[in-house]
Amino acid sequence: MAIVTLTTDFGQRDHYVAAMKGVILQIAPKTTIVDVTHHIDPHNVLMAAFIIRQTLPYFPRGTIHVVVVDPGVGTSRRIIAAQYLRQLVICPDNGVLSFLQRDVPLETLREVANRGLFATSEPSSTFHGRDVMAPVAAHLSGGKRLTEIGPATDKMEMLDLPLPERRPDRSMRGEIVYVDGFGNLVTNLTRDDLGPTFIARPHARVLIDGKDVGPVRQAYGQVEPNDILALIGSIGNLEIAVNQGSAAKTLGAGIGTPVVVE
């Protein structure tokens, strides 16, 4: 039996997550189910795309990831299954694979279309997580072959991800693409984008929305509590943080806020 992970915007107040788990366990009772998060902001496909990109590389081969952030549920949008690093992601075709597709080689892509694997012959038009994605993941966990879920395809929807920009004055411009639970502001500028020129030199400055937050530092503790700093975070991206505080609240910044390193 495989590991099945769940990433949703359902929260944990209602029955939605439990219903999906129940479907999986009815079909494949020995499956190990891992909750990645159920606190994606409602309908926020970009946030889900970021989370699954940071999660998948740390799971073993054979893991099946189910991502249900699905503002288009019940429409003509497809459900797809994409294989990366010998793991499978089952999700709506709405751009949730954009970060993975950018960074990790795609091995297989299929449309989820075999209605014989669904939980019911008439899936709810509002809950494909329970009636389509969860049972298909369970059948695969229980031994069904990937070729049985539906036909191969070569198309998927992609989000318009912002790209870092090297400007004529050799500064780098990026923007905030994710805000974590601590209020840290994660940019799309990576360690590789900046290189030793910006990271190792104390005179290099980081500006967020025009505000100078100083050089790129190595640790939160290099500034006093409640002070703002920039550093390379655990995923290798430049982050703006507040030591023991929230940069998002302190700066009033969020997704799309510009960041310049000069």
- pLDDT value at position 173? 95
The pLDDT tens digits for 104-132 are: 999 999 999 999 999 999 999 999 999 99
Q: Whole-angstrom Cα distance, residue 65 to residue 251?
A: 34
Ranges of residues in the chain with a pLDDT under 70 are 196-202
Return the closest-CA partner of residue 133 out of 73, 173, 176.
Answer: 73
C-alpha torsion 38→42→46→51, nearest 10: -10
- pLDDT value at position 197? 61
Is pTM beyond 0.85 here? yes
Please state at what angle helix 134-141 crosses helix 16-27, rounded to 10 degrees.
30
- pLDDT value at position 202? 64
Instruction: Show me where the domains of the chain are located.
Output: 3-148, 165-261
- pLDDT value at position 195? 79
- pLDDT value at position 198? 64
In the beta sheet, which residues pair with residue 175?
258
- pLDDT value at position 203? 72
> H or E segment at 196?
helix 191-199
Return the closest-CA partner of residue 70 out of 117, 129, 16.
Answer: 129
- pLDDT value at position 1? 77
The pLDDT tens digits for 37-84 are: 999 999 999 999 999 999 999 999 999 999 999 999 999 999 999 999
The CATH code that applies to domain 165-261 is 2.40.30.90
Q: Per the structure block, which two tokens stand in for 198?
A: 């910006």
The CATH class of 3-148 is alpha beta
